[in-house]
Amino acid sequence: MSANQLRQRQDVPEEQTWRLEDIFPTTAAFNAACNDLISRGQAIGQQQAVLLSDGATLYTVLTAYFQAEALADRIFSYGEHLYNSDMTAAAGQAAYAQAQQTITAFNTATAFVTATLPQITPAQLTAFYAAKPQLEDYAFIFAQAEKRAPHILTAAEETLLSALGQSFRAPETIYNKLNDADIDFGTMKDPHGNTIPLSKEKIYQLYQSPDRAIRKTAAEKFSAAYAKSQYAFAEALQQHVHTQNTLAHVRHYPSARAMDLTEEFIPESVFTNLVNTVHEFLPSAHKYFALRKQVLALDPLYTYDLSVPLVGEAPLKPTFAQAQEWALAALAPLGEDYLDHLREEFNNRWIDRAENAGKLSGGYEEDVFGVHPYVLLNWSNTYRAASTLAHESGHAMQSVYADASQPYWYSQYSMFIAEIASTCNESLLNHYMRTQYQDNAKVKAYLLTESVEDLLNTIFNQTKYAEFEHFMYTTDAAGESLTPETLTDKTAALDAQYDGPDVAPNPWPNVSWARIPHYYMNYYLYQYATSKAVANTLAQRMLTDPATAVPQYKAFLSAGASDYPIEIVKKAGIDMTKPDYIRETLQVFDQQVDELADLLTK
């Protein structure tokens, strides 16, 4: 094998892979669990006619249902992780397909449970509590069901929708195949003249090259790979968006955005407050791009120039072991119990870190209740990769605390607050690193740039993507097609608005809309921005007033889904229904841009 080729999965050292045996020790155990889940679903299904007959029956069925749901999560995680490790391997493909089919069968058999709960009247619930006090364990489940009642269909209709679950996920599955298994970025010459194969991670590294020709070639290769399949990517997006709009109509919501935010009990004003407040601070983003143009002495400054470090070659190139040490030191303010959990993650193969052929790109964390969280990375020796490790570990630690404090049905915290713990870790890491290099002007400027870029990417860019996502939904709802041309034109318009006059678009069509997996996650992108704003505030409090803020933060981590997300964050002292927290964070961004300008232009 050439030194420049991606390794095959079987060539990756075991210690760099996750230990899926913690979920199921053997394939036979996985198969047995699938059969068990189907049997459990059938047994629960037999209780449909008597579910609300009395409190004892309701308690028995709910207990069996949530126990089976926990098993379903294990089954899905095992199949998904095995598949994501190498999407070209037959074993992973088979396990993932089996997991999806099994869970679809289970959901079809048990869809009546969630469909029936909203039918419980207050008088019935009072009687059920009196007859079976243990039902109080599910009190918040009943409260949420009452709020969702107007959007729950009949049991037969819910069963039908559950049976179509795999079909509803098909556009995302097709996208993943296109984006990870089929796409080919080709090869190019590296700065030393060697021919190297290109991957997403490798291209990101090349974007930071001081050689502008290298950056341009990498960007062209990246864009060309997506442009080659742009019609397939556009069709996948069209089908996903149209499916969600149709589901919103079927469930009696005015829009897909209303459906997705209401499902999390989030007022739509949170979304509009974000967009409006970010628009207020676009001049701050434009000021930063003007600084980039000045420092790099590039005119025009193209989009492919926006990742090159302002201080030249990145001065920090940590190994994975060094990144772990940084994370432990940076997160020390959170207490020894937090660090113990972090060491457990690092030392027990919760992380799959090596890049290999066929592996899912990017990174994510997924919890397996009763086992432990799992983290997927594609490691490279960069500060950004170290920040990603801290980010995904933030997700993992929130899962650890929630699992330890909540029963299964309250452990799976809302997507709306999921990015707070992860981005808080990023902020703490950057703060720690800047203190370590306080007397090194070059490294300090580099780290300050990373902080500015973090806020730029997590708040400004994610808000831009959220605007684009909303455009897709409203366009489809108006009966218009999401053609590659429509998507490319809208991308160009938003880039011009957010980047300002000092950034020139790359001299080829911008099909970056095709690469973003979060467009299949139903109004998830805006939550990165709102979460980052909350996280910055919490991180600052933990650094300045740890005695008060750290216990509050631990309570936040431990809350899981035991309350409405807005209320969980309010308990930590932040009201997300108001734009103040966004404005405060963007004021910090503006100040950091000025501080960076002082360092780089004096």
Radius of gyration of the chain (CA): 24
For residue 2, CA distances in Å to 7, 202, 295 come to: 9, 16, 38
Rounded to whole angstroms, the Cα distance separating 591 from 585 reads 10
Residue in the block written with tokens 């919501």: 253
Query: What amino acid is encoded at 111 in this protein?
Result: A
Burial group, residue 505, by CB count within 10 angstroms (0-12, 13-18, 19+)? middle
Give the closest residue to 288 by CA, choosing from 538, 457, 160: 457
Q: What is the SS3 assignment for 95?
A: helix
How far does CA 201 lie from the centroid of its chain?
Answer: 17
Query: What amino acid is encoded at 133 in this protein?
Result: P
Burial group, residue 438, by CB count within 10 angstroms (0-12, 13-18, 19+)? exposed
Degrees (nearest 5) of the Cα angle 459, 464, 468? 145
Degrees (nearest 5) of the Cα angle 595, 601, 602? 90
Rounded to whole angstroms, the Cα distance separating 371 from 355 reads 24
Helix (H) or strand (E) holding 195, with range, is strand 195-197
For residue 424, CA distances in Å to 180, 311, 394, 420, 451 come to: 29, 25, 8, 6, 12
Give the closest residue to 54 by CA, choosing from 120, 6, 147, 113: 120
By the 8 A CB rule, do 571 and 556 touch?
yes
By the 8 A CB rule, do 535 and 462 touch?
no
Rounded to whole angstroms, the Cα distance separating 39 from 72 reads 12
For residue 119, CA distances in Å to 65, 147, 325, 430, 480 come to: 18, 11, 53, 50, 38
Give the closest residue to 375 by CA, choosing from 14, 13, 6, 16: 16
Burial group, residue 275, by CB count within 10 angstroms (0-12, 13-18, 19+)? middle
Residue in the block written with tokens 């209709």: 157
Residue in the block written with tokens 């160009």: 492
Structure tokens at 346: 């690092």
Active-site residue, 392 included: yes
Q: Which of 345, 366, 392, 467 is an active site residue?
A: 392
Q: In sequence order, what E strands does 474-592 have?
A: none
Degrees (nearest 5) of the Cα angle 22, 24, 28? 155
φ, ψ for residue 255 (rounded to 5)? -160, 165
Annotated catalytic sites, by residue? Answer: 392
